[in-house]
Structure 1
Amino acid sequence: MATFLGAIALLIIGYMVYGKFVERVFVVNDDTPTPAYTKRDNLDYVPMNWWKGNLIQLLNIAGLGPIYGAVAGALYGPVAFIWIVVGCIFAGGVHDYMSGMMSLRHGGAQFPTLVGKYLGKHIRTFINVLSLVLMLLVAAAFTAGPAQLISQITPISFIVALSLIFGYFILATVLPVNRIIGRIYPLLGGILLIMAIAVAVALVFSGKQLPNLTLDSLHPANLPLWPLLMVTISCGAISGFHCTQSPIVACTMKKETDGRKIFYGAMIIEGIIALVWAAAGMAFFNGTEGLAAALEAGGPSGVVNEISTSLLGTVGGILAIFGVIILPITTGDTALRSSRMIATDILSKFMNMDGKMKVLLVTIPLAVPTFYMATIDYTFLWRYVGWTNQVVATVMLWTAAMYLLKLHKQHWIAGVPASFMTGVVCTYIFYAPEGLGLDYNLSVIIGATLTVPVVLWYAAQIIRHRKVKQKNSGLNIA
């Protein structure tokens, strides 16, 4: 129990100390008018209170990610706590804060636009495609599961359930952000928090042995941590999906000092939720072997349902069903909204994209392939979400590092986790079954070989910007 409670305490301290440090590095200024006012269109740019922004951001980035991912990550043992805490504070929090605040500073710009500005147009072209693919994969994967469950517990068929969900998706995508998202999401975000708190309290008083981090119980020897853990637990530590969602809330912020509470704060809350479910997965099934058997028998939804029902009774069962149906839907609709905003940003360079009808015309072509992918096996889709997701996170961290480097600020807060995540994605694609499926040791060697030139490029950028700074200082003195 000491490990679990200590991990939660470290996340809270991380928000207060390191989150504040990151904010000081960025340098906020409440005298600068935000895009919610300067570009107000009552569709995407609408001022909202910070607490609404925080809960909307939490629901956008969370869904079932910190629940399902944490339960699966619990198979790696108590070492999962380390990754959640360290990843959340030093990688995920920085990633989410920088993506949100950079969007704010650039007039509500979408993630690919930021990439193009700081990493070049070629990387932007690649990331335009990759981010849209990620959005559509997430929307499809987070729709298939709820539709299947609805068809199982009601007379509604899978296709009808899927059609109803997508009808809602289109409404949520084309309506002003304060109509559905701004009104309902804060409530749903609150329910997500209540669910996690209830499970945590019940778990502490259940009498079950909560896992503690020791050298003997660090992790099962049959599961290599690197890089699988960092992809399995993404939403509770660092997730590229978040940087595609941050502009939605950045377009609604009233002032810059709200950024830490909204972006870094939502990431910390998500980390706490992930800790709760990782601990529950290990404790409730008496270790990783019991959890593995439960996952094989009922999948993550079955595990979540069993934990919730056993710890919280009927209320827990209702919360579990609510979570499995509602939470992924609320992630899927904002994924589609983000893809609409990204696609509109791309097309606006070639044509005028103002007007609600044109917004709808962008949304429909995105919804059609997403609907089709949702009819494909859910587990097949999810295998490809993980790696794509972490590649996007890595690119966002490098974008943030170049932004800070250009301004001669402490770029290492993004550069160090970017280097780490480069190693993760370069190794994972060669080792994972959905990748090339190579030998583990060979995959690690190839991953390291590919990471080295990226780090050397980063070092070269640091040297170049230092020379520019010294040159400019010399000109100022002269």
Structure 2
Amino acid sequence: MNSAFLITIAIVWYYFAYKWYGGTLEKKIISPNDEIETPAISKNDGVDFYPANKMVLFGHHFSSIAGAGPILGPVAAVAAFGWGSAMIWILIGTVFIGAVHDYLSLMVSVRHDGNSVPEVAQKVIGTRARNLFSIFVLITLILVVAVFGFVAANTLKSTPQVVIPTFGIIPVAMLFGYMVYKKNLPLPIGTIIALLCLFTLIYLGFKFPISVPFEGKGSFTFWFILLMGYGLLASVLPVWMLLQPRDYISNWILIIGLGIGFIGTLVTHPNINAPFFTGFSSKSGPIWPMLFIIVACGAISGFHSLVGSGTTSKQLAKESQGKLVGYGAMLLEGVLATLAVITVSAGLFWIAPSGMEQFSFFNILGSDGPIKAFGMGYGRITQPLLGTFGMLFGITMLKTFVMTTLDTTIRLGRFVAAELIGPKMPVLKNRFIGSLFITIPAFYLGYTGTYNIIWPMFGASNQLVAALALLVVTAYLVGVKKTTKYTLYPAIFMIITTFAALIYQGYNHLFGPNPNYILGITSAILIVLAIIVAGEAKKILMLSKKQ
């Protein structure tokens, strides 16, 4: 298939889905009422609760949920099962499950004073569901901070060209926030100035790469400490000062990058040389359930509900803006996932011809990882537009989002810790102490590399969080007497799929040729929790049938 045809079909499909399915959810489920004050207005504290311009909030939300996730999963899925399998799940999952999950979890949080989904779970399901959800969430957030800090530090160490834009965006964003929010600078003018500054920073980074004078692990240690310190401090600053403007500016970089990638695909229109389907099984396991665990971001990810109910719901100025931010941002992530599939299946070679081995998908994936594979493929597709700068721009585009996810996740962890443990330990309600509660264990796991021990289970636990979020939304809909079919059936599918993945992974870790008993025991624990989740789903299903 021609890559230009594929990406065109995907964009048309997402536009149609936004109007059709997103509009259906807005009309039949949410029925937004802008006469009701959102938590951003009714609880405005100038720090965490603060109404944002809808496009600024879209930028924050998209930047926070995207990160490198829509790249890592789709690239791995192409390698395991072929490009067709990955695309079918991305196109269907994004519209009917992922965007539904994101939009409705955001709006349920808005309808519950901006509380996180775990806290809402206590009100609509019960204390057990809330405690179960909160434990999942805290573990997930600590792991995300550890891994993103680790990945970001290694990227700064190995790619010194991204140092200047990575840290230079911070003062640019703070100045942008001050001028727009405090001095009433028109948003379009501020956006143009900020983007010019950021592209200048990218150029300066390309011309003046910065390396630190430490050898071995010293370089990683320097960047890791700096990044974690940044995340800690940024997580306690008022959202208007850094979070909103930085994510908004970063969002434009990715939108521009997507636009260049789309135009580059139309211009070069390379044929997809990877196979459509490689078989029902691979080294990653059987296509069901493993494909649906490998591709999380880009189809559905439980982490998104934590962002939507953690920070975004506290900044939504009007209920009518929820569809754009929640449903729309997830569809845009689907576009990014589609571009990721194209860059490695058409921009690179499945079997490289003689003399082109440097563009072999599997060679790059094996030696440098999926982000480098994306960058190399992106560079080839956009070569007529960006020349040799394409690969670096593609990597820098993703690197910007790692920073946004880092401090947003620490802030989310602070919220959940304050809700779950704060009543018994009031000190955790302090912004700085609450952020330290997340940062310290994340620092240990990331710096020592011990996150690797349990990270392989992250995919399944993340999808279990998504199932829980869908169950919470379903329970809310039962309470307000709205139809539950849009959320209950996706929740059941995700529970069954995740349960099957945990059984497969657990069996391999305990009885496979290379047993890993820590992961095997972790799988067993998650299986027990999945059974509990299934029990909650059964109760909600019975309640929905009584409507």
Query: Which residue of the partner structure matches residue 212 of structure 2?
Result: 155
1:301 is aligned to 2:371:
yes
Scaled by the length of structure 1, the TM-score of the pair is 0.88
SS in 2 for 1:375: helix
Q: How far did residue 60 of structure 1 move? A: 0.4
Matched, 1:412 2:485: yes
In structure 1, C-alpha distance between the alignment counterparts of 2:461 and 2:427, rounded to whole Å: 28
CA shift, 1:351, in A, is 5.6
Compute the TM-score of the two structures, normalised by the length of structure 2.
0.78
What is the match of residue 125 of structure 1? Answer: 131
- Partner residue, 1:257: 320
Of 23, 26, 29 in structure 2, the residue corresponding to residue 23 of structure 1 is 26
More displaced, 117-126 or 405-414?
A: 117-126
> What is the aligned partner in structure 1 of residue 16 from structure 2?
13
1:302 alignment partner AA: K
> Helix, strand or coil for the counterpart of 1:46?
coil
Query: Match of 1:421?
Result: 494
Offset of residue 463 of structure 1: 4.5
Corresponding residue SS for 1:263: helix
Look up the equivalent residue of 1:72 and give its one-letter code: A
Kept in 2, the 8 Å contact 1:73–1:232? The answer is yes
Alignment of 1:373 with 2:430, yes or no, is: no
* Residue pair 1:91, 1:417 contacting (<8 A) in 2 also: yes
Distance 1:207 1:49, change over 3 A: closer
Q: Is the 8 A contact 2:348 2:376 kept in 1?
A: no
Secondary structure in structure 2 of the residue aligned to 1:426: helix
Q: Does 1:291 align with 2:361?
A: yes
Moved more, 113-122 or 95-104: 113-122
Q: Deviations over 1:209-241 (max 9, x none)?
A: 0369xxx83343443211111111111010000
Partner of 2:431: 359
**Total equivalences in the alignment:** 457
Deviation at 1:11, TM superposition (A): 1.6
1:204, distance to aligned residue in structure 2 (A): 3.1
Correspondence 1:218 to 2:284 = no
Runs of 5+ unmatched residues, structure 2: 161-210, 214-218, 353-359, 513-525
- Judge which range, 291-300 or 37-46, deviates more: 291-300
**Aligned CA distance change for structure 1 residues 145 and 352 (closer, same or farther; 3 Å):** closer
SS in 1 for 2:317: coil
Which amino acid in 1 is paired with 2:337?
A
> Could you tell me which amino acid in structure 1 is paired with residue 436 of structure 2?
I
Are 2:231 and 1:231 aligned?
no
Q: Is the 8 A contact 2:347 2:378 kept in 1?
A: no
Contact 1:227 1:424 in 2 (8 A): yes
The counterpart of 1:143, out of the listed 149, 152, 155, is: 149
- 2:396 corresponds to: 322
Is contact 2:93–2:299 with CA below 8 Å preserved after alignment?
yes
Q: Distance in 2 between matches of 1:266 and 1:307?
A: 24
Hey, what does 1:45 align to over in structure 2?
49
In the alignment, does 2:59 pair up with 1:55? yes
1:332 aligns with 2:406: yes
Q: Which amino acid aligns with 1:176?
A: P
Q: Take 2:528 and 2:401, find their aligned partners in 1: how far apart are those partners? A: 39
Specify the alignment match of 1:442 in structure 2.
Answer: none
Q: Paired residue for 1:272? A: 335
Tell me the amino acid that sits aligned with residue 289 of structure 2. P
| SS, match of residue 284 in structure 1 | coil
Aligned residues of 2:64 and 2:401 also touching (Cα < 8 A): no
Shift, 1:286, TM fit? 3.2
**1:455-474 pair list within 5 angstroms:** 458=537, 461-464=540-543, 467=546
CA distance in 1, matches of 2:481, 2:120: 18
Aligned-partner Cα distance in 2 for 1:367–1:241 = 18
Percent identity, aligned pairs only, is 28
Equivalence for 2:462: 389
Structure 1 gaps, min length 5: 440-446, 470-478
Tell me, yes or no, if structure 1 residue 202 matches structure 2 residue 260. Answer: no
Query: Quick check: 2:90–2:334 contact (8 Å CA) kept in 1?
Result: yes
